[in-house]
Amino acid sequence: MISTRLAILELTHRHRLDAATLGALWRIARLGQPSPELDTLLRRAVGMLAALLAGLGLIFLVAANLDALGRREKFILLQLCVGAACLGAAFLPRLRTSLALLGLLVIGALFAYFGQTYQTGADPWQLFAVWAVLALPLALGARTDIVWSAWVIVAMTGLTAWDAAQSGWWRFAGPNLGAHMLVALLASTLAVLMSQPLARFSGAGKVAFNLVVLFATTSLGGAGMLALFASSSWGALYYLLSLGLLGVAAALLTRRRLFDVTALSVIALGLIILLIAGMVRVIGMGHGGEIGMLLVAGLTTVGLMALAVRGILALMREYGTGGKP
């Protein structure tokens, strides 16, 4: 659309076209008319917003623990909402995405109210794990990027909560590197399953894939950083494993069929951070040369970032702006 406008303006300037001719070209290019896809996009956006607001409204209703309804009535209300959303997603194709998203949110509200009512003592990660498992058929049935993105957020939150419960990473004392690496490997596996070659089986899109890549890169980078400065004998192995997985992922994403500029940029940043951290760890900063070390690390970071940006821009020019073959 922008290139068409520029071409018309260039023709107008080159041939000194009058206003009538310019208007005719404008009408032929249909630049003054709304996009035919605008109505569809608006309908989808309104449907998603309605589903999101309805689902969050039910969650807030449960969280407020209102006394207007009894325990049984609240359970019945939530279960009816889950059933109605799932049945609607199954039999109403035009509303499938919105109703599937609503069903996913209401499943979380139902389990939150169950845990609030009976105080089972379960860890928070168990709630998110069960939520993700029960919502998986909805995501597979809806086969839309929006529902998969919401599912990814739920699943990744569960993995993060499990990691925190196992290792206590917030204390930075004796971190359980095995738990960190297991979470990173699970996230990396999920990223592979949501990649473009396998997306035709799941229906996941680029947004869900990029969310998983962001989480997997953060997990691998965090595990590698902790492994570098940990006293455990497994530290070097975990660091090299994190570095190797990110390197393999970056190499795969440079291929024409798999190229994704967002995912590749995230992974490249994770690789640079791990490389700089490894350099700092090897050279050391405890011998009075902190300023010099920081200068070297800063210059190296700038150089690696420049190389990464130049390489990604070259791939974009070769494959096309969107990264499509």
pLDDT value for 227? 82
Encode pLDDT of 160-218 as tens digits: 888 887 755 444 434 577 788 888 899 999 999 888 888 878 888 888 999 999 999 99
Q: CA 60 → CA 65, 121, 178, 254, 279, distances in Å? A: 9, 21, 36, 44, 48
pLDDT value for 268? 93
pLDDT value for 58? 74
Indicate if 63 and 87 belong to the same structural domain.
Answer: yes
Query: Which amino acid, one-letter code, is at 142?
Result: A
Indicate if 126 and 58 belong to the same structural domain.
Answer: yes
| Averaged pLDDT score across all residues of the chain | 79
Query: Is residue 244 assigned to a domain?
Result: yes
Tokens linked to 89: 């997603």
Per-residue pLDDT of the chain (325 residues; tens, 9 = 90+): 445 666 766 777 677 777 777 677 666 666 655 555 656 667 777 777 887 788 777 777 766 665 666 777 778 877 888 888 888 888 888 888 888 888 888 888 887 777 777 766 667 888 888 889 988 988 888 888 888 999 999 999 999 888 887 755 444 434 577 788 888 899 999 999 888 888 878 888 888 999 999 999 998 988 888 888 776 667 778 888 888 999 999 999 998 888 889 999 999 999 999 998 888 877 765 555 567 777 888 888 889 999 999 999 988 888 875 444 4
Query: Is residue 311 assigned to a domain?
Result: yes
Domain that holds residue 236: 168-325
Q: What is the pTM of this model?
A: 0.77
Indicate if 314 and 254 belong to the same structural domain.
Answer: yes
Encode pLDDT of 81-102 as tens digits: 888 888 888 888 888 888 888 8
How far apart CA 163 and CA 177 sit, in angstroms, is 10
Indicate if 188 and 282 belong to the same structural domain.
Answer: yes
Indicate if 119 and 246 belong to the same structural domain.
Answer: no
Query: Is residue 246 assigned to a domain?
Result: yes
Query: Is residue 306 assigned to a domain?
Result: yes
Indicate if 18 and 56 belong to the same structural domain.
Answer: no
CB atoms near residue 241 (< 10 Å): 18
Q: CA 193 → CA 101, 123, 149, 203, 208, distances in Å? A: 21, 27, 14, 11, 11
Tokens linked to 146: 């929006």
pLDDT value for 46? 79
Indicate if 211 and 100 belong to the same structural domain.
Answer: no
Kindly report the three-state secondary structure assignment for every residue of 146-214.
HHHHHHHHHHHHHHHHHHHHHHCHHHCCCCCHHHHHHHHHHHHHHHHHCCHHHHHHHCCCHHHHHHHHH
Query: Is residue 21 assigned to a domain?
Result: yes
Encode pLDDT of 146-169 as tens digits: 889 999 999 999 998 888 877 554
Indicate if 270 and 195 belong to the same structural domain.
Answer: yes
Query: Is residue 284 assigned to a domain?
Result: yes
Q: Pick from 109, 144, 179: which residue ends a domain?
A: 144
Indicate if 30 and 59 belong to the same structural domain.
Answer: no
Query: Is residue 153 assigned to a domain?
Result: no
How far apart CA 16 and CA 56 sit, in angstroms, is 57
Please tell me the total count of domains within the chain. Answer: 3
How far apart CA 12 and CA 267 sit, in angstroms, is 45
Indicate if 206 and 308 belong to the same structural domain.
Answer: yes
pLDDT value for 306? 92
Indicate if 318 and 184 belong to the same structural domain.
Answer: yes
pLDDT value for 251? 92
Indicate if 17 and 61 belong to the same structural domain.
Answer: no
Query: Is residue 155 assigned to a domain?
Result: no
